Amino acid sequence: MKIARIDQFFPRRRTRLVKITTDSGLVGWGETTLEGKPKSTTAAVEELADYLIGKDPLRIEHHWQHIYRSAFYRGGNVLMTALSGIDQALWDIAGKQYGVPTYQLLGGAARDRIRVYAHWGIGSLADEGKARAKERLEMLQKKGGYKAFKSGPGGKWRAHEPPAVIDAFVERAYLMREWVGPDVEIAFDFHGKMTPALAIEICHEIKGMRPMFVEEPVPQENVDALKLVSDHVPFPIATGERLLTRWGFREIFEKQAVAYIQPDTSHVGGITELKKVANIAEIYYMHIMPHCAIGPVAFSASLQVDAVVPNFLIQEQVDSGLGDGLLKEDWQVKDGHIELPKKPGLGFEIDEKEAERDCGVYEEELGGGFYYESDGSVADW
Ligand SMILES: [Mg+2]
């Protein structure tokens, strides 16, 4: 069996897909969505296709090594996102070739079902925002029985803010706790936009509502700054969606800088690398909560690793990225869990007509979502 062709599709704003077809007619899908650089990942996949066409798709580790190491310059988010999508597609083909879900080729299931959390933004503190937020919570609980949610402080944050700004977020956090009760977990994503001092101050204000974790309290480049936050906060800190490969996580592990890591299967290096990162995390008693804020192919690839990793805690599920018509059958969430995938490969069938639709919108991805502070300087978002 040989790789016969590689195609790419852009059916949704945050969903960019790679399709690998073999000369035996098998098809594998992967996801190469990268905020800020959609054209670059497209070009990278095109370049890698020159190497992959004519090769045996089942030599996944060999292709991973070739793509990562062969051209002198290693890593970077463009190459790693392209490699991640290709790796997912090759694992999809491998599962289909052997007639089993991909997780069966990764060691078999370590659990019976996969726990997921949903995004639940509470919006502004205006009465209208509260009413909408409560409605959305009830809908999510009714629809999937979710027992864990993630929200965030939203907006832009300067190096320090007045009490009113901090209190608005803190009040929201406690209100969320009041609404869901003590049986439900709530986490907050700071999006890497705080300073260590501000992150620590805010974490102390919300510690009474017992967060499940705070994610990316500070940007990802400085592991010591992250560890400083962890050392001063009495609940778990998480990071990892912007870290690439085992080498990207090495310092996090060695310094025990966080409690949980959040590698993204479409950036870290695909299914192959996500499992390796998780296996290293196990020796540090760190659990993985794979990040997934893009489309249903990346989400499905994450589930395959979630199934087999002992130190898996929970899977992120952005509901707006799912159930959008790309999969013929959407993943069903019941009691806050998804049953183990049953179909061969990554476990879904794509509606190819939907996949071939070109959304043609690059705006959000090219803009990177940043905006400016009131003094005209660039803010993180
Ligand atoms: Mg995040």
Q: What is the pLDDT of residues 243-268, one digit of tens each?
A: 999 999 999 999 999 999 999 999 99
Distance 282 CA to ligand 1 centre (A): 22
Burial letters 273-289, b for 16+ CB under 10 A, else e = bbbbbbbbbeebebbbb
Contact 85, 17 (CB under 8 A): yes
Which letter does DSSP use for residue 343 in this model? S
Do the domain assignments include residue 303?
Answer: yes
- The reply to whether 143 and 270 lie within a common domain is yes
Q: What is the pLDDT of residues 59-86, one digit of tens each?
A: 999 999 999 998 889 999 999 999 999 9
Which single residue is written with the structure tokens 């069903």? 332
Q: How many other C-beta atoms are found inside a 10 Å radius of the C-beta of residue 247? A: 12
- Give the closest residue to 58 by CA, choosing from 347, 345, 348: 345
My answer on whether 47 and 127 are in the same domain is: no
Return the structure tokens found at 19: 């399709």
Q: Return the percentage of the chain with pLDDT > 90, whole number.
A: 81
Tally of structural domains, the chain: 2
End of a domain among 331, 346, 361? 346
Q: Residue 357: inside a domain, yes or no? A: no
Give the structural domain span for 85.
Answer: 3-101
User: Span 14-35, mean pLDDT?
Assistant: 95
How far apart CA 331 and CA 320 sit, in angstroms, is: 13
Check residue 324 and give its pLDDT.
77
User: Do 15 and 46 share a domain, yes or no?
Assistant: yes
The answer to whether the Cα torsion of 181, 185, 191, 194 is positive or negative is positive
Cα–Cα distance, 348 to 328 (Å, whole number): 7
Surface-to-core class of residue 163, CB atoms within 10 Å of its CB (0-12 exposed, 13-18 middle, 19+ buried): exposed
The rounded Å distance from CA 101 to ligand 1 centre is 28
Q: Is residue 364 part of a domain?
A: no
Q: For 5, phi and psi rounded to 5 degrees?
A: -155, 155
How confident is the model over 214-223, as a mean pLDDT? 96
Strand stretches in the chain, DSSP E: 3-12, 15-22, 27-31, 113-119, 148-151, 185-189, 214-215, 237-239, 260-261, 287-288, 315-317, 333-334, 337-339, 371-372, 378-379
Based on the domain organization, do 50 and 126 belong to the same domain? Answer: no
Residue 148 covered by a domain: yes
Residue 124 sits in the same domain as residue 206: yes
User: Do β-strands 337-339 and 333-334 pair in parallel, antiparallel, or remain unpaired?
Assistant: antiparallel
CA of 258 to the centre of ligand 1 (A): 14
Identify the pLDDT of residue 360. 75
Q: Are 206 and 186 in contact (CB under 8 A)?
A: no
371-380 burial, b at 16+ Cβ within 10 Å, e below that, comes to: eeeeeeeeeb
CATH of the domain at 26: 3.30.390.10
pLDDT at position 70 is: 86
118 and 40, same structural domain? Answer: no
Q: Which of 54, 83, 101 is the last residue of a domain?
A: 101
Domain boundary among 71, 101, 131: 101
The domain spanning residue 183 has which CATH number?
3.20.20.120
- Same domain? For 148 and 281 the reply is yes
Distance CA 299, CA 278 (A): 16
Q: List, in order, residues 6 or more apart from 47 with CB less than 8 Å away.
A: none
CB 191 within 8 A of CB 152: yes
Do 91 and 122 fall into the same domain?
Answer: no
> Is residue 312 a part of any domain in this protein?
yes
- In this structure, the answer to whether residues 246 and 97 fall within a common structural domain is no
Residues identified as active-site: 191, 291
The overall pTM is greater than 0.85: yes
Q: Position of tokens 């260590």?
A: 196
86 three-class SS: helix
Q: Is the pLDDT of residue 318 over 90?
A: no
Same domain? For 155 and 289 the reply is yes
Ligand 1 center–CA 153 separation, angstroms: 12
User: Are both 7 and 134 inside the same structural domain?
Assistant: no
Could you tell me the two tokens for 371? Answer: 């905006």
- AA identity, residue 47: E
Pair (214, 321) in one structural domain: yes
Q: Is residue 377 domain-resident?
A: no
C-alpha 284 to ligand 1 mean position (Å): 22
Is 375 inside any structural domain? Answer: no
Please say if the pLDDT value at position 306 is more than 90: yes
